[in-house]
Amino acid sequence: MAKSTIYSALDLRDGFYQILMRESDIALTAVSTPSGMLWEWLVMPQGLNNAPATFNICVTHLLRSVRDFAPSYFDDVFVHSRAVNGKTDVEVHKEHLRKLLGLMRKHKLYANLKKCIFGAIEIPILGILRCLVGKNGVRPDPEKVRVISEWPTLSNVKEPRQSLGLTTYLCKYVENYAGKIRPLSQLLKKEAEWKWTAECQQAFDAVKQGFTEAPILVVADQNRPFHVVCDASDFAIGCVLMQHDQEGRDRVA
């Protein structure tokens, strides 16, 4: 998606139900109801251990010819385009959408129009880990940042576990995240005494502030070199994937 300036996001309707069960496996999905009726699945049901992987492999394979401009992630397909060969980004994007939709029609993949976004300058990706991707880069979902910034002071051991569960998913946006949350992490240790100190409050406020000031991360450019920056201390270890932008500045990829 690097250097792209216009985006679309398509949601595949009832994803698993678009995959037919192999005829010899249909009987294995049989369930008996209290009425004595026996029901079998003709399409792939949700809940099977290998259903997500099977669906992802299937969609990736069917859409492999448009992967350069329309990568897929489970039931989401992201189309990205930019101006090229004298054509505007909108003209190129229309061509990309026609190719993708033609392929979906050929393979009988159906989209949920209510959840689709077309011709936007920025689109949400990754569902529960939701972030926004646009021509300027990648940024966290403003709604999740708002939730974090409005958290009240924690009052028991369950609350740090819940709050850190969310912030850890988004930690790439906060510099020195592991170091900042250390006082809070100590509260989660087995048999640790619950004691909310001034240091805990300072760490809590620092994390919230870090997300409200979260930088826009660069969209990784597969045609430019990457490098890894590593760091460690007495209580934390980490690394980050970096890439120089067009101005030669180091950007988190």
CA distance 85 to 97: 18
Q: How many Cβ atoms from other residues are within 10 Å of residue 167's Cβ? A: 21
CA atoms within 13 A on the CB side of 38: 5
Can you read off the two tokens belonging to residue 247? 């101005």
Decide: 241 and 225 in contact? Cβ < 8 Å.
no
Decide: 139 and 217 in contact? Cβ < 8 Å.
yes
116, 22: one domain:
yes
Can you read off the two tokens belonging to residue 141? 């979902």
71, 129: one domain:
yes
76, 148: one domain:
no
Q: Tell whether 1 is covered by a domain.
A: no
18, 121: one domain:
yes
232, 121: one domain:
no
Q: Tell whether 14 is covered by a domain.
A: yes
147, 227: one domain:
no
Q: Which residues pair with 252 in a beta bridge?
A: 242
Q: Which residues pair with 9 in a beta bridge?
A: 78, 117
Q: What is the CATH number of the domain that holds 48?
A: 3.30.70.270
147, 52: one domain:
no
pTM value is 0.82
Whole-number pLDDT of residue 48: 85
CA distance 181 to 205: 10
CA distance 161 to 194: 13
Q: Tell whether 157 is covered by a domain.
A: yes
Task: Provide the number of structural domains found in the chain.
Answer: 3
205, 244: one domain:
no
- Tokens 């992967």 belong to which residue? 67
Q: What is the CATH number of the domain that holds 161?
A: 3.30.70
Range of the domain at 241: 218-252
Whole-number pLDDT of residue 146: 92
Q: Tell whether 167 is covered by a domain.
A: yes
Sheet holding 76-81, edge to edge: 72-73, 76-81, 6-11, 117-120
Q: Which residues pair with 31 in a beta bridge?
A: 39
CA distance 142 to 132: 9
11, 129: one domain:
yes
Q: Classify 177 as helix, strand or coil.
A: helix
Q: Tell whether 206 is covered by a domain.
A: yes
25, 106: one domain:
yes
Q: Tell whether 158 is covered by a domain.
A: yes
15, 115: one domain:
yes
Mean pLDDT by 10 residues, the chain (253 residues): 93 92 92 91 90 93 96 94 96 98 96 95 80 91 90 86 84 87 88 88 93 88 89 82 83 78
Decide: 133 and 1 in contact? Cβ < 8 Å.
yes
Tell me the one-letter amino acid at 98.
Answer: R
DSSP assignments along 139-159, one per residue: EE-HHHHHHHHTPPPP-STHH
229, 188: one domain:
no
